[in-house]
Amino acid sequence: MIRITIIFLLILFKTEAQTSVLNIADSLYANGNYSKAIEQYQTYDNQSEVYDKIAKAYVALGNYDEALQNYEASIEANPEDALLKFEYARLLSQTKKYETAAKVFNDLVYIDDKNPNYHYELGIVLEQLKDSTAMDRFRSTYELDQTHQKAIFKIAKYYLQKRKHETADKFIDKGLESYENNLELISLKAQNYYWQQNYREAAKWFEKLLELGESSEFIYEKLSLCYGNHYDYEKALEYRLKVLKYNPTDATALYVIGTYYFELQQYKKAEEYISKALLMLDRPLSAEYAKLATALNHQKKYPEAIAALKKAIKENPENEFTHFRLALTLETYYKDYDAKLKVYEDFKNRFPNSRINQFVDEKISKIKKEKFLKTD
């Protein structure tokens, strides 16, 4: 009898000790002391009960290989545990083991095809594998749960990329019904209007993103373009200057800022920004040099304007309009009537069939008349 009592007490003490080990390990994990938690879990007698806990601790430490091994051991010990398989498959996806992840998610869908998250996560993996059936999984997710924000985003984005604006808008609005501040859907809403060239509505939705605390180069750039397309150059300039803060050497942003200053008739500022852009741009620059020349002409900086136009012609020698603008600038700059006439005669010789020649003839006639009157 005494022997039985002793054995019973030993079993009781061992059980309490193991419970204590588990409680200590759980407490360490809850407080973020993951390495110590793993050490405690590994002293637990029945390892099959704690493989999943060890796996989660390794995930928290970023040691995904060990985490996967422990998930596999846990699944082997608990083959009917769907939650374990789901967590394991998500980690496989996270570590880019997409084919294995797809197999596990497919098994889960087979076990329970009414679970929307199984379909969604399978869709994510198939998307990474460039499998065209990924969208079917997202649609299945939506059919099972019409408030599933992530699936709605995927579907709406798909239709937006296909430029099926009406269908995209339907899904976006459906998502916003259940979560009106979904930043991803609001961004899609703005982009959907933008690609339909409804810039006023697009601007409203991009600005809603700002109101909700979002800010990015992309948002500011699109707002700048929206206002620019509606000739509100002050607002366009305001947002484009914010774009520049993300990349102060962005040649395109510098040039666009210069064009906005030009439209606002701030020609000195236009000259400053366009000149900076021209130093950085690595492509044919005929139009940009011509725009700079116009800004310089407005400031009566004729030698600089002439130099800019000559650079524009060097970039595109056959652009007769640039040649004509150079002729106009040279006419203004030159004092000598013969020099003025030669400019237009050279133009006619170079472009004998140009439609601009009717204006050139008028210019020649006017200069000859002025010369005659001055001589007389």
The string of pLDDT tens digits covering residues 202-250 is 999 999 999 999 999 999 999 999 999 999 999 999 999 999 999 888 8
Q: Which residue matches tokens 């082997």?
A: 76
pLDDT given at position 147: 97
Which pTM does this prediction carry? Answer: 0.74
Q: Amino acid letter at 307?
A: A
Q: Do residues 244 and 254 make contact, with C-beta atoms less than 8 angstroms apart?
A: yes
Phi and psi of 340, rounded to 5°? -60, -45
Q: Amino acid letter at 104?
A: V
Residues 285, 280: Cα–Cα separation, whole Å:
11
Q: Do residues 297 and 329 make contact, with C-beta atoms less than 8 angstroms apart?
A: yes
pLDDT given at position 333: 87
pLDDT given at position 8: 42
Residues 11, 18: Cα–Cα separation, whole Å:
10
Q: Which residues contact 54 (CB under 8 A, 6 or more apart)?
A: 38, 41, 42, 66, 70
Segment among 63-67, 129-133, 300-304 with least mean pLDDT = 300-304
Angle value at C-alpha 286, between 280 and 291, nearest 5 degrees:
85
Beta-carbon-side half-sphere exposure of residue 167 (alpha carbons within 13 Å): 11
Phi and psi of 50, rounded to 5°? -120, 5
pLDDT given at position 322: 85
Q: Which residue matches tokens 């239709």?
A: 159
pLDDT given at position 11: 44
Query: Which CATH code fits 16-79?
Result: 1.25.40.10
Segment among 39-43, 89-93, 254-258, 356-360 with least mean pLDDT = 356-360
pLDDT given at position 369: 77
Query: Both tokens of residue 125?
Result: 């993996």
pLDDT given at position 375: 65
Q: pLDDT category, 9, cuts 50, 70, 90?
A: very low
Phi and psi of 31, rounded to 5°? -95, 10
Q: Do residues 41 and 57 make contact, with C-beta atoms less than 8 angstroms apart?
A: yes
What tens digit of pLDDT does each residue of 149-195 get?
Answer: 999 999 999 999 999 999 999 999 999 999 999 999 999 999 999 99
Whether 20 has a pLDDT exceeding 80, the answer reads no
